[in-house]
Amino acid sequence: MPVPQTPARMPRKLLRDQIFDTLLDAIVSGDLVAGEPISDKQLETWLGASRTPIREAVNRLAGMGLIEVLPQRGTRIAPLDPIRFAEEMEMLGVVYSAAVREAVALLTDADRARIAELHATVSRTREALERARIVDALMSVFIDRYRNTLIQRIRERSVPHVTRMITARPGALDATDTSAALDALASAAAAGDADAAAHAVSAYFTAGVASVMARDAAETAAMTVTEDESA
């Protein structure tokens, strides 16, 4: 058939992808609370969509570990899991470190200026979630320059787990524990030192895991003391 002359109006995203993005944002932000049961009917009412695209998005999120589909027991938002958080942080540390090592030699002057700008911004920021967003943007400079699609896929699966934990427990990721690593990363990128930059990235994620796990251990110990005193 002849190609029509009038430009076709294509949707920017499929409905199931729009629903996925909406649900992902709600889970990461905590609007959909960890451990909270959800039903297709509730989601249909909230999203104004039919069951099929909602179920497709839910299954995709279940595959990421953000939603749990429990046979005979329904569906719920996955509970927060400090161990999962630590594993995702460790994974990102390994993957990002390797990507940064390769990307440093590829950085443009504009990239280095952007890294310096983001480093200056994160150095002035103390709010945990905002810091995490800035650090993600900083890492993106390296990841986007390296252009490895496998790393991009790992990132898409791991970052939501990290972000939702930081959102739910903003005091757990202490800026003082990670600032030195970010300073070292910015300096190494400016100097073109790939090994030092990779080491700094690894140090950032190691410090982040230690900070959150230490906070979790302290809170658990405090709860135990309270329970013993109440007994």
In this structure, the answer to whether residues 104 and 72 fall within a common structural domain is no
Q: CA–CA separation, 76 vs 85, rounded Å?
A: 19
Domain boundary among the residues 77, 99, 125 is at: 77
The pLDDT of residue 3 is 38
In this structure, the answer to whether residues 73 and 86 fall within a common structural domain is no
What is the mean pLDDT of the segment spanning 183-207? 96
Q: CA–CA separation, 30 vs 151, rounded Å?
A: 26
In this structure, the answer to whether residues 110 and 138 fall within a common structural domain is yes
In a domain, 231, yes or no: no
- Residue 38 lies in domain: 15-77
In this structure, the answer to whether residues 189 and 204 fall within a common structural domain is yes
pTM recorded for the entire structure: 0.81
Domain boundary among the residues 26, 49, 77 is at: 77
Q: CA–CA separation, 8 vs 77, rounded Å?
A: 38
Q: CA–CA separation, 174 vs 87, rounded Å?
A: 18
Domain boundary among the residues 77, 103, 122 is at: 77
In this structure, the answer to whether residues 166 and 65 fall within a common structural domain is no
Q: In what order do the strands lie in the sheet with 67-70?
A: 37-38, 74-77, 67-70
In a domain, 216, yes or no: yes
In this structure, the answer to whether residues 31 and 120 fall within a common structural domain is no
Q: CA–CA separation, 187 vs 190, rounded Å?
A: 5
Q: What is the pLDDT of residues 212-231, one digit of tens each?
A: 777 777 766 766 666 556 65
Specify the range with the lowest mean pLDDT, choosing from 3-12, 54-63, 100-109, 208-217.
3-12
In this structure, the answer to whether residues 63 and 159 fall within a common structural domain is no
The pLDDT of residue 10 is 43
Residues 6+ apart with CB under 8 A from 47: 19, 22, 54
In this structure, the answer to whether residues 115 and 215 fall within a common structural domain is yes
Q: What CATH number should be reported for the domain holding residue 32? A: 1.10.10.10
CB burial class (10 A; 0-12, 13-18, 19+) of residue 102? middle
In a domain, 5, yes or no: no
Q: Would you tell me the crossing angle of helices 128-146 and 82-103 to the nearest 10 degrees?
A: 40
Number of domains in the chain: 2
Q: What is the pLDDT of residues 64-116, one digit of tens each?
A: 999 998 887 889 999 999 889 889 999 999 999 999 999 999 999 999 999 99
In this structure, the answer to whether residues 197 and 134 fall within a common structural domain is yes
